[in-house]
Amino acid sequence: MSDTIAAVATARGQAGVAVVRLSGPEAFRVGAALAGTLPAVGTARVRVLRDPGTGEVLDQALVIAFADGQSFTGEKTVEFQIHGSIAVETAVLRGLLSDDAVRLAEPGEFTRRAMENGRMDLSQVEGLSDLVVAETEAQRRQALTVMRGAIGTLAAGWRKDLIRASALVEATIDFADEELPGGLADEAHARIDGVLRELRDQLAGSDSAERVRQGFEVAIVGAPNVGKSTLLNALAGREAAITSDVAGTTRDVIEVRMDLNGLAVTLLDTAGVRDTDDRVEALGVSRARERALHADLRIFLGAAPVEGLWRPGDLLVHPKADLGAGNADLAVSGLTGAGVSKLLEAVTAELSGRLAGSSVMIRLRHRQAVEGAVAALESARLHVQDMPDASDLAAEDLRVAVRRLDSLIGKVDVEALLDDIFASFCLGK
C-alpha cells in the first residue's frame, strides 16, 4: 500500500486561491479530520478547516473529494482550495502532516503515481512537464497535444500493425511443414512499409518540433559598430545591450528571450566580426562565429554576409536606415525603429515556414526510439523477402521494433529516466 502524500499544488506566494492536494489510501480519513466532513465524491462544498489536534480554525475552503480511479493520481484524493497566502498554506499543510499516515510529497510524485496507476503514459508525463513551463502559444499547443496522448495513440496503431506482421511471420515458423495460404509475406511486407512511412514522416518533422519546444536562436551578425546592439535593444524593446560608437564594445554573446507570434525565440547579439590583436576581443569574435554558426537563423547587418556563415533562409539587412537605406529590401534603424516591424515579420515568416510538417516527437528520446524502430523495420523488410528461410530473423527484427515503440510510452527500458523526469516537477505536481 502506498503512502498518503500531501503538498501545496500551486506556486508559493500571495494569490486569491491556493490548492493543497492530499492523495493516497488515508486521504478521505485525514481530509475529514481537517474539514469535519467531506462532500460527496465529485462535488465541491465549502468547509471550515480546523487543526485536528487543537480545533483551531485554519481557513474556510472549497473542498473536493475524488474516488479511486477518478482523480489525477488514480487514488483517493482530496483537494482544498484555500486562500492563497503563505501563512494559510503552511497552516493547512501542517494540519495534514500532523497525521502519522501522511508525509510531504516528493517533486513530481503526484504525476508519478498517475503514471504508475495507468492514468498517464510516459509521453503524456513529458507533455505535462512541458505544459507547466510553456512560455508561448506554440509551446502550449504542442505540449497539450502530447499530454492528451498523441504519441500513445500513434504508437498503439503502429504496434497493432507490427503485431499483425509478426503473427504472419511467426506462422511461417510454427507451421513450416504445412501448406499455408499465399500472400503472407506480401501482407507482412505491406504492414511494415506502412509503419515505416509514418515513422519516417515523424522523424522528418522532429527537428522542427524540438525547435518549438526549446525555442529558436537568431543571431545578429556583422562587423563592429554597424548597430547590432542598438538593433537588439530595438527588437527587445529595452536596453538589453550596451551601445557605443566605440568598435568592439560587445565582447560576449548577449541573449534576449522573445515571443514572436507564439514562437519562443532567443536573439543573440554577437561581437563584431573582424581581425583584431586584442586577445579578449578575438575570443569574443571566435565565440560570435561559433554561436552564429549553430543558430537557427542569422540576421546579417551590413552590406554583405559574414564569410562562411551564410545559410539558406538567412536575412541580409541594411543598417542605420535613418541615414539612407539605398535599394535594400530590408533596412532598419535601431535608433528610430524604422523597419523593425518588417524585420520581425520576416524573421517570424521564415521560422514559421520551418514548422510545416512538424511531428509530435518533441524530445531527443522520442527521436532515438523511432530511429531504432526504423532500423529494425528496414532489416525486417529485407528478411521478409527471404521467408521462410529468414523468418526467424524477421520475427526478431519485428520484436525489436515493437520494443522500441513501447519505450515511447514507458512500457520498457525507461526506469533510468524516471527520476530525472519527475525531479523537474514541483512538489504539488
- The answer to the question of residue 130 being in a domain is no
Over residues 375-414, the pLDDT tens digits come to 999 999 998 887 777 788 988 999 999 999 999 988 765 4
228 is in an annotated binding site: yes
Same domain, 275 and 336: yes
The pLDDT of residue 416: 47
DSSP single-letter state for residue 152: H
For residue 315, give the H/E element and its range: strand 315-317
Residue with grid cell 551601445, as numbered in its chain: 243
23 is in an annotated binding site: no
The pLDDT of residue 231: 79
276 is in an annotated binding site: no
Same domain, 45 and 107: yes
Instruction: Evaluate whether 78 touches 64 at the Cβ level (below 8 Å).
Output: yes
CATH code for the domain in which residue 167 is found:
1.20.120.430
CA-CA-CA-CA torsion sign (90, 96, 100, 103):
negative
Integer CA distances (angstroms), 307 to 223, 228, 274, 282, 293, in order: 11, 17, 11, 16, 11
269 is in an annotated binding site: yes
Same domain, 302 and 402: no
76 is in an annotated binding site: no
Beta strands in 9-89 (DSSP E): 15-23, 44-50, 57-66, 77-84
The pLDDT of residue 40: 96
244 is in an annotated binding site: yes
Overall domain count for the chain: 3
The pLDDT of residue 241: 46
CA distance 117 to 73: 7
423 is in an annotated binding site: no
229 is in an annotated binding site: yes
188 is in an annotated binding site: no
Same domain, 69 and 185: no
The pLDDT of residue 36: 95
Q: What are residue 263's phi and psi, to 5 degrees? A: -100, 135
Among 306, 329, 353, where does a domain finish? 353
Instruction: Evaluate whether 257 touches 266 at the Cβ level (below 8 Å).
Output: yes
277 is in an annotated binding site: no
Instruction: Evaluate whether 155 touches 161 at the Cβ level (below 8 Å).
Output: no
Count Cβ atoms within 10 A of the Cβ of residue 237 and give its class: 0-12 exposed, 13-18 middle, 19 or more buried: exposed
The pLDDT of residue 157: 95
Question: Half-sphere exposure (CA, 13 Å, Cβ side) for 406?
Answer: 12
227 is in an annotated binding site: yes
- The answer to the question of residue 97 being in a domain is yes
CATH code for the domain in which residue 63 is found:
3.30.1360.120
165 is in an annotated binding site: no
The pLDDT of residue 424: 56
CA distance 113 to 43: 23
Same domain, 190 and 232: no
* Long-range contact pairs involving 176-185 (C-beta distance under 8 Å, separation at least 24): 176/388, 184/387, 185/384, 185/385, 185/387
Count Cβ atoms within 10 A of the Cβ of residue 146 and give its class: 0-12 exposed, 13-18 middle, 19 or more buried: buried
Query: Which amino acid would we find at residue 165?
Result: A
Cell of 140: 502550449
The pLDDT of residue 357: 81
320 is in an annotated binding site: no
Question: Half-sphere exposure (CA, 13 Å, Cβ side) for 7?
Answer: 19
272 is in an annotated binding site: yes
CA distance 424 to 419: 9
Count Cβ atoms within 10 A of the Cβ of residue 182 and give its class: 0-12 exposed, 13-18 middle, 19 or more buried: exposed
DSSP single-letter state for residue 307: T
Nearest Cα neighbor of 377 from 199, 157, 196 is 196
Beta strands 15-23; 44-50: pairing state: unpaired
Same domain, 225 and 306: yes
pTM for this entry: 0.78
Same domain, 237 and 349: yes
CA 358 to chain CA centroid, nearest Å: 14
Same domain, 187 and 66: no
Among 86, 116, 146, where does a domain finish? 116
Domain that holds residue 370: 137-205+361-410
CA dihedral 319, 321, 327, 330 (to 10 degrees): 60
225 is in an annotated binding site: yes
For the chain, 429 residues long, give each residue's pLDDT as a single digit of tens.
Answer: 479 999 999 988 889 999 999 999 999 999 999 999 999 999 999 999 999 999 999 999 999 999 999 999 999 999 999 999 999 999 999 999 999 999 999 988 999 999 999 999 999 999 999 998 899 999 999 999 999 999 999 999 999 999 988 888 887 765 544 554 556 778 888 999 999 999 999 999 999 999 999 999 998 888 777 777 777 877 766 554 444 444 444 446 788 888 888 899 888 887 666 556 566 666 767 777 888 888 999 988 877 788 788 899 999 888 777 666 554 578 887 677 788 888 889 999 999 998 888 899 999 999 999 999 999 999 999 988 877 777 889 889 999 999 999 999 887 654 544 555 555 556 556
The pLDDT of residue 55: 94
Beta strands 77-84; 102-104: pairing state: unpaired
Among 116, 147, 164, where does a domain finish? 116
384 is in an annotated binding site: no
Instruction: Evaluate whether 205 touches 361 at the Cβ level (below 8 Å).
Output: yes
Same domain, 366 and 341: no
Beta strands 216-221; 15-23: pairing state: unpaired
Same domain, 348 and 222: yes
Cell of 114: 498517475
172 is in an annotated binding site: no
249 is in an annotated binding site: yes
Same domain, 87 and 150: no
Nearest Cα neighbor of 301 from 216, 215, 218 is 218
Integer CA distances (angstroms), 127 to 14, 67, 111, 410, in order: 28, 25, 12, 13
322 is in an annotated binding site: no
Over residues 221-251, the pLDDT tens digits come to 887 777 777 778 777 665 544 444 444 444 4
- The answer to the question of residue 33 being in a domain is yes
